[in-house]
Every structure is written in structure tokens, then in C-alpha cells.
Amino acid sequence: MPADERARRVRAALDKVGLLAYEKQLPATLSTGEQQRVGIARAIVAKPALIIADEPTGNLDPQLSWEIMQLFAQFREVGTTVLIASHDLPLLKRMKQRTLVWRSHERGGETCHRTARAQALTRCDLA
């Protein structure tokens, strides 16, 4: 990708996450929430078909967590698939999207979270 196109995409991504005014700052000078949004901006610069987010709201306050989830919803609207792993089930339910719940408990002598084979999914609760 040409440098001018890359720079345009970076600025657009920073603007999308509300951080365009911080484009010259070092990550260490940003708050946790701002750093999280920089990570999301980095992910969208390449216009991926899929974003996998592992605990994207784990260290954020409830309001910022909701804002991050709204960003992911906007990506979905333009055709990007977003897969989110989170322990914050109430937040995920607010999104009103399909949610798979992986429960870690004993079933017939097996622990579901220790069995990674696809067939094991049928023995675990998916909601």
C-alpha cells in the first residue's frame, strides 16, 4: 500500500475511534481506554473481513465498554465480521446479536472447557 494511502487510512481509523487529535502522541501517554481504541484503529486500517477481539472491554469502565461495542457494531454494518470473546455477558446481551456461551462445568465426566474438539461443543451449553 502506498504511504499516502496508508496515512489516509490511519487518520480515518483514528478519527473513527475518536482519537485523531492524539495521532502524534506515544501510546504510553494515553489512558487505558485510549490505548484500547488505538488497538481497534490499528485493526481496521487494513479493512479486514474479520476482527477477533479477545476481552476488548476487560479493563474499561461501563460507559467506555459500551462505546467500544458500538464501534464494533458499526464495523459489522459495513460488512466486517466481528467475533468477540468476553466475560461480560450482560454487555454482550445489550448488543442483541447472536451470542454463544461456553460454560465450564462437568458433563458426563468430561470438563467442557478442556475439550477443544468440535464434537465436544455438542456436549456444552451454547445459548
pTM over 0.75: no
Is the residue at 81 inside a domain?
Answer: yes
At 110, the pLDDT band (50, 70, 90 cuts) reads: low
The alpha carbon dihedral of 86, 90, 60, 98 has a sign of positive
Burial of 33 from C-beta contacts in 10 A (0-12 / 13-18 / 19+):
middle
Is the residue at 110 inside a domain?
Answer: no
Is the residue at 102 inside a domain?
Answer: no
Is the residue at 82 inside a domain?
Answer: yes
Query: What pLDDT is recorded for position 10?
Result: 92
At 48-103, the pLDDT tens digits run: 899 898 888 887 888 888 888 888 888 888 888 888 888 888 888 888 888 877 76
At 13-46, the pLDDT tens digits run: 899 888 999 999 998 999 888 888 898 888 888 8
Is the residue at 125 inside a domain?
Answer: no
Grid cell listed for 71: 464501534
What CATH number has the domain bearing residue 34? Answer: 3.40.50.300
Is the residue at 32 inside a domain?
Answer: yes
- Domain hosting residue 28, numbered range: 3-96
At 105, the pLDDT band (50, 70, 90 cuts) reads: low
Contacts of 60 (CB under 8 A, 6+ apart): 32, 33, 36, 68
**Percent share of the chain, pLDDT over 90:** 16
As for how many domains the chain has, the answer is: 1
Q: Crossing angle for the helix pair 32-45 and 3-16, nearest 10 degrees?
A: 140
What three-state secondary structure class fits 85?
strand
Query: What pLDDT is recorded for position 27?
Result: 85
**pLDDT at residue 109 tops 70:** no
Task: Give the C-alpha distances (Å, rounded to integers) separating 2 from 8, 46, 87.
Answer: 10, 12, 39
